[in-house]
Amino acid sequence: MIVDVDNPDTWPSGVAKIVATCVANFQGRDTSLSDLATEAGRLDAEIGLLLAGHRLRAYHCTRLLDREVARIQAEGLHPSSERLRQDKLSAARANGDLTDDQYAILQRSQTVGDLYGLKTFSRIHLFTSTLELESHLSELASYLTYWGGEALFDGTAGLREVLGGLGRPAIICAGLDVEQIRGIDESLTAPFVATIAQWPPEHRGAVVRYGAAIPGDDIEAIWRPGDPAYDRFPGLPR
């Protein structure tokens, strides 16, 4: 069963009951939403057990070539790694998407993880609510605009125009095994509470750091410009 944070009708009954009780306890409290989210996080272990055996719907923003779309649909999505980085670059050169010189420059360039000290390798970063595509679009737009992704290259090697011309924006919709989540902003419970309590959009999602490959069978869809699911967000890069 797929559990969609944005749609309470998809929640297991135990989750819905705990969240409703949590929201009732919060009513009338003069406390910041951040503090309430932290408080909701105390229920994460209990919510995690109730979600075991289900799949939590989440989304990953990137930019893909057509053959990469086909590969992900068949083989799934893999955590970032140096091997994945090199394979991606080598395939782009072999297929004529990159010249030998461009390949050499990108092979030497810093990853976003190097640049900002992020632990991007061995993880897939996803978010749990499509509201993120409206409330945090400025943070996500670069991943849709430039081919490569956060674990590959930062796009400052003088090749922004090249990277912006490769592939098309893509939002990968996938089902996650909660037991493979290695970190989550705010908490696992907070987005569920935020949905019922109708918190503002910027507090309705969560960024997940996922520590395993997502099999092809758990890739629900890949949205691209021209697909109704993508086009319903007019602010997304085209």
What are 12-24's pLDDT values in tens digits?
999 999 999 999 9
Q: Looking at residue 106, what is its pLDDT?
A: 85
Average pLDDT across the chain, whole number = 88
**Domain range summary for the chain, segments of one domain joined by +:** 2-231
pLDDT at 158 over 90: no
Q: Looking at residue 226, what is its pLDDT?
A: 97
Q: Looking at residue 208, what is its pLDDT?
A: 92
Q: Is 77 helix (H, G, I), strand (E, B) or coil?
A: strand
Average pLDDT over residues 62-89: 91
What are 195-207's pLDDT values in tens digits?
999 988 888 888 9
Task: Please tell me which residue, 87 or 157, carries the higher pLDDT value.
Answer: 87
What is the percentage of the chain residues whose pLDDT exceeds 90? 58
- Say which amino acid occupies 141: A
Separation CA 69–CA 186 (nearest Å): 31
Separation CA 153–CA 149 (nearest Å): 7
Residue 150 vs residues 52, 70, 224: alpha-carbon distances, Å: 29, 21, 19
In degrees, to the nearest 5, what angle opens at C-alpha 44 toward C-alphas 38 and 49? 175
Q: Looking at residue 118, what is its pLDDT?
A: 47
Pinpoint the alpha helices (H) of 29-99. Answer: 33-40, 44-51, 66-75, 82-94
What are 66-75's pLDDT values in tens digits?
999 999 999 9
Secondary structure element (H or E) that encloses residue 209, with its range: strand 207-210
Q: Looking at residue 16, what is its pLDDT?
A: 95
What are 108-157's pLDDT values in tens digits?
776 655 544 444 567 899 999 999 888 888 888 889 998 987 655 555 56
To the question of pTM greater than 0.85 for the whole model, the response is yes
Q: Looking at residue 100, what is its pLDDT?
A: 96
Secondary structure element (H or E) that encloses residue 102, with its range: helix 100-108
